[in-house]
Structure 1
Amino acid sequence: MTDAPWGPALLFCPADRPERFATAAARADAVIIDLEDAVASGAKTGARGALIEAELDPDRVIVRVNATGTADFVADMATLSQTDFRTIMVAKAEDPRQLARIDARFRVIALCETATGIVAAEALASLPNVSGLMWGAEDLVASLGGTSSRKKNGRYRDIARTARARVLLAAGAHGGIAVDAVHLDIPDTKGLAREAADAAASGFSATACIHPSQV
């Protein structure tokens, strides 16, 4: 694993909204162009076309691709081979063997957002093509049959805090970066500031954002 070239604020942008690409890149240290959850299944083909046409600095772009083992992942990677973008975030990363088979031209950020992915975090972090890890709270809790990662006061439940710590420790043990999860409550700027400060103090290299106001 190696250090990331970008700074601490990463901003997600749907791949099917190319009119937002430049603004997102200008607002944040790097933009995460999202081909997964942010794009409806019927819009993915058009989103991939928009990615091919995008005029962005490849060093400041991460592309979130669909989970390995899916037809969408194959299509995403075929699209990326037609671009200069070489950093990918693999959604729902779980199987080290599948990530190890990814074309060596790409640096990988493994997004651990299921129970299986969190348990596999250290094995994923140890792969030579994996540059870092990110974790996701809501999908993780959903994979366990839960309903919310947070308590009524907005603080993470213990299961989410445990997952966050495991991802940070796994990344750090293998010399890689760790990216903290998004703060879904956009108006909660106080909670966002608290979590971002804690992330920096704890050793996370970056925090992902879902709205420009969070950057």
Structure 2
Amino acid sequence: MRSMLFVPGDRPERFERARASGAEAVIVDLEDAVAPEAKLHARGLLAGWLASRSGVLVRVNAVNTADFRKDMLVASLPGVDGVVVAKAESPEEIAVVADAISGRPVYPLIESALGLHRAREIGAVKGVEALIFGSMDFQADLGIRGDGPELDPYRAQLVLASRLAGLSPPIDGVTVAIENDNGLRSAATWARGMGFGGKLCIHPRQVAIVNEAFGPTMTELNWATRVVAADAASNGAATRIDGQMVDRAIVVRARNLLAQKERGNA
């Protein structure tokens, strides 16, 4: 998914607007976006909304909190497409969630040093679809001052762990400057270049920019089309495009770009 948009669990009037934003996933947040005293009310609001609607993910509180099992009662309801697990730190915790939601996908949030250390094990749990970088909490856990290049070594580790676990590319963390379109575009483009497949959003206005940044450009699509055509004409033998050798790895990349475009049009 290129874009995953958070919406507070105690603001049901925003649920439909979030779904109409163009985001490829909407995450109804029962964790950080909801004050402790409002969590019971938020769960009731979400359960009522789900009685007649569907098509959202739910972020639940960490497995070791008192709110987790109460959250899971709502997250297990029909209409929930998957669960985002806050502060994932062990495969055993994620297995508990996966077992509780009967085959629906799980998205662990990697938000701590321990979570990143065990990211490959967490990603290997049956039912995990992709890992998400909870960059803000990760910064706090490690005392990192900055969300740009300061986090790149950890982003790279998460991309590698996802690949080794056989997962889809991970999802990058939020950009908190809601009105800084250029900053968001730059951050999303950089994350894509590092191997991320999408990015978390905290406002609907961020969605279109993120979708564009993580989608293939026309230049890339034109290149990919020519590579695939050249590969077909050569019957799989190595060939050249624009003076560069085209081997099997290049062909796979070109086909992935074209497939990404088809998924975006679906």
TM-score class, shorter-chain normalisation, is 0.7 to 0.9
Cα distance between partner residues in 2 of 1:73 and 1:149: 30
2:167 corresponds in structure 1 to 176
1:160-189, CA deviations, whole angstroms, 9 ceiling, x for partnerless residues?
212211111111222222111111122221
* Superposed structure 1 runs of 4+ greater than 4 Å apart: none
Contact kept, 8 Å, 2:3 with 2:201, in 1: the verdict is: yes
2:139 corresponds in structure 1 to 141
1:68-113, CA deviations, whole angstroms, 9 ceiling, x for partnerless residues?
1212111001122333214001000001111112225132101001
Identity score, percent: 41
Select 1:200's aligned residue among 192, 202, 205.
Answer: 192
- What are the residue-to-residue correspondences of 1:114-125 with 2, within 5 Å? 114-125=112-123
Contact kept, 8 Å, 2:121 with 2:165, in 1: the verdict is: no
Letter in 2 for 1:179: I
Contact kept, 8 Å, 2:112 with 2:141, in 1: the verdict is: yes
CA distance 1:26–1:56, shift in 2 (3 Å):
farther
Following superposition, the deviation at residue 149 of structure 1 comes to: 2.9
More helix by share: 2
Contact kept, 8 Å, 1:34 with 1:65, in 2: the verdict is: yes
CA distance 1:72–1:138, shift in 2 (3 Å):
same
1:57 aligns with 2:42: no
- What are the residue-to-residue correspondences of 1:2-81 with 2, within 5 Å? 7-27=1-21, 28-54=23-49, 55-58=52-55, 61-81=56-76
Count the aligned residue pairs: 200
Greater RCO (CA < 8 Å, at least 6 residues apart):
1
1:156 aligns with 2:154: no
1:91 aligns with 2:93: no
1:26-59, CA deviations, whole angstroms, 9 ceiling, x for partnerless residues?
102221110000000011111111111224432x
Select 1:189's aligned residue among 176, 181, 191.
Answer: 181
- What are the residue-to-residue correspondences of 1:97-136 with 2, within 5 Å? 97-102=92-97, 103=100, 105=102, 106-136=104-134
CA distance 1:52–1:83, shift in 2 (3 Å):
farther
Cα distance between partner residues in 2 of 1:56 and 1:208: 23
Letter in 2 for 1:142: A
Cα distance between partner residues in 1 of 2:85 and 2:201: 17
Contact kept, 8 Å, 1:138 with 1:149, in 2: the verdict is: no
Contact kept, 8 Å, 2:136 with 2:173, in 1: the verdict is: no
CA distance 1:147–1:164, shift in 2 (3 Å):
closer
Q: 5+ unaligned residues in a row in structure 2: which ranges?
A: 208-266
Contact kept, 8 Å, 2:59 with 2:84, in 1: the verdict is: yes
Q: 5+ unaligned residues in a row in structure 1: which ranges?
A: 1-6
Contact kept, 8 Å, 2:105 with 2:127, in 1: the verdict is: yes
Cα distance between partner residues in 1 of 2:81 and 2:69: 15
Cα distance between partner residues in 2 of 1:204 and 1:187: 23
Of 162-171 and 116-125, more deviation after overlay is shown by: 162-171
TM-score using structure 1 length: 0.87
Cα distance between partner residues in 1 of 2:66 and 2:34: 15
Letter in 2 for 1:49: G
